[in-house]
Amino acid sequence: MLSTAVGCWGPGRDPAMEPASTAGPVQLRFSPYAFNGGTVLAIAGEDFSIVASDTRLSEGYSIHTRDSPKCYKLTDKTVIGCSGFHGDCLTLTKIIEARL
Protein backbone atom coordinates (compact mmCIF):
# COMPACT_ATOMS: atom_id res chain seq x y z
CA MET A 1 0.00 0.00 0.00
CA LEU A 2 1.32 3.46 -0.92
CA SER A 3 0.31 5.10 2.36
CA THR A 4 2.42 2.66 4.38
CA ALA A 5 5.38 2.64 2.00
CA VAL A 6 8.70 3.61 3.50
CA GLY A 7 10.88 5.61 1.17
CA CYS A 8 12.58 8.95 0.97
CA TRP A 9 9.43 10.63 2.32
CA GLY A 10 9.45 8.68 5.58
CA PRO A 11 7.10 6.04 6.93
CA GLY A 12 3.42 6.58 6.23
CA ARG A 13 3.84 9.83 4.26
CA ASP A 14 2.25 10.16 0.86
CA PRO A 15 4.18 12.67 -1.33
CA ALA A 16 1.01 13.45 -3.29
CA MET A 17 -0.56 14.87 -0.15
CA GLU A 18 2.30 17.28 0.61
CA PRO A 19 1.80 20.97 -0.28
CA ALA A 20 3.43 22.01 -3.53
CA SER A 21 4.93 25.14 -2.03
CA THR A 22 5.33 26.56 1.43
CA ALA A 23 6.13 30.05 0.17
CA GLY A 24 2.62 31.34 0.90
CA PRO A 25 -0.31 32.33 -1.29
CA VAL A 26 0.28 32.92 -4.98
CA GLN A 27 -1.62 35.61 -6.88
CA LEU A 28 -2.53 34.35 -10.34
CA ARG A 29 -3.10 36.81 -13.15
CA PHE A 30 -5.28 36.55 -16.23
CA SER A 31 -4.88 38.79 -19.22
CA PRO A 32 -7.03 38.38 -22.33
CA TYR A 33 -4.28 39.99 -24.41
CA ALA A 34 -1.58 37.94 -26.07
CA PHE A 35 1.32 39.14 -28.15
CA ASN A 36 0.78 37.28 -31.41
CA GLY A 37 4.04 38.51 -32.88
CA GLY A 38 4.63 39.22 -36.50
CA THR A 39 6.74 41.33 -38.78
CA VAL A 40 5.69 44.20 -41.04
CA LEU A 41 8.19 45.97 -43.28
CA ALA A 42 7.64 49.05 -45.46
CA ILE A 43 10.09 50.70 -47.83
CA ALA A 44 9.35 53.83 -49.85
CA GLY A 45 11.16 55.67 -52.60
CA GLU A 46 10.32 58.70 -54.73
CA ASP A 47 7.96 56.80 -57.02
CA PHE A 48 7.31 53.49 -55.26
CA SER A 49 6.49 51.85 -51.98
CA ILE A 50 6.59 48.24 -50.83
CA VAL A 51 4.75 46.85 -47.81
CA ALA A 52 5.36 43.25 -46.79
CA SER A 53 4.55 41.07 -43.80
CA ASP A 54 4.67 37.51 -42.63
CA THR A 55 1.48 35.45 -42.34
CA ARG A 56 2.15 33.45 -39.18
CA LEU A 57 -0.12 33.94 -36.15
CA SER A 58 1.52 32.54 -33.05
CA GLU A 59 1.56 32.78 -29.29
CA GLY A 60 4.74 31.76 -27.55
CA TYR A 61 5.91 28.53 -29.15
CA SER A 62 2.44 27.64 -30.50
CA ILE A 63 1.57 28.45 -34.11
CA HIS A 64 -2.17 29.05 -34.47
CA THR A 65 -2.15 29.46 -38.25
CA ARG A 66 0.29 30.14 -41.06
CA ASP A 67 -2.27 32.06 -43.15
CA SER A 68 -3.13 35.22 -41.21
CA PRO A 69 -2.46 38.43 -43.16
CA LYS A 70 -1.01 41.47 -41.43
CA CYS A 71 -1.35 43.88 -44.37
CA TYR A 72 -4.80 45.19 -45.22
CA LYS A 73 -5.83 47.23 -48.27
CA LEU A 74 -7.87 50.26 -47.19
CA THR A 75 -8.14 52.16 -50.50
CA ASP A 76 -6.54 51.85 -53.92
CA LYS A 77 -3.55 53.85 -52.66
CA THR A 78 -3.55 53.02 -48.94
CA VAL A 79 -2.35 49.90 -47.16
CA ILE A 80 -2.02 49.34 -43.43
CA GLY A 81 0.24 46.78 -41.83
CA CYS A 82 -0.01 45.96 -38.15
CA SER A 83 1.26 43.28 -35.80
CA GLY A 84 0.90 42.48 -32.13
CA PHE A 85 -2.38 41.39 -30.53
CA HIS A 86 -4.45 40.12 -33.45
CA GLY A 87 -7.77 41.31 -32.00
CA ASP A 88 -6.47 44.89 -31.79
CA CYS A 89 -5.21 44.75 -35.39
CA LEU A 90 -8.60 43.58 -36.68
CA THR A 91 -10.46 46.21 -34.65
CA LEU A 92 -8.14 48.98 -35.85
CA THR A 93 -8.58 48.06 -39.52
CA LYS A 94 -12.39 47.80 -39.17
CA ILE A 95 -12.60 51.22 -37.49
CA ILE A 96 -10.41 52.83 -40.17
CA GLU A 97 -12.39 51.17 -42.99
CA ALA A 98 -15.66 52.43 -41.47
CA ARG A 99 -14.34 56.00 -41.33
CA LEU A 100 -13.10 56.07 -44.95
Q: How many Cα atoms are found within 13 Å in the side-chain-facing hemisphere of 14?
A: 6
Strand partners, 50: 43
Are 96 and 80 spatial neighbours (Cβ–Cβ below 8 Å)?
A: yes
Q: Tens of pLDDT along 35-91? A: 888 999 999 999 999 999 999 999 888 999 999 999 999 999 999 999 999 999 999
What span, in angstroms and rounded, lies between the C-alpha atoms of 63 and 36?
A: 9
Can you give the pTM of this predicted structure?
0.63
What span, in angstroms and rounded, lies between the C-alpha atoms of 81 and 68?
A: 12
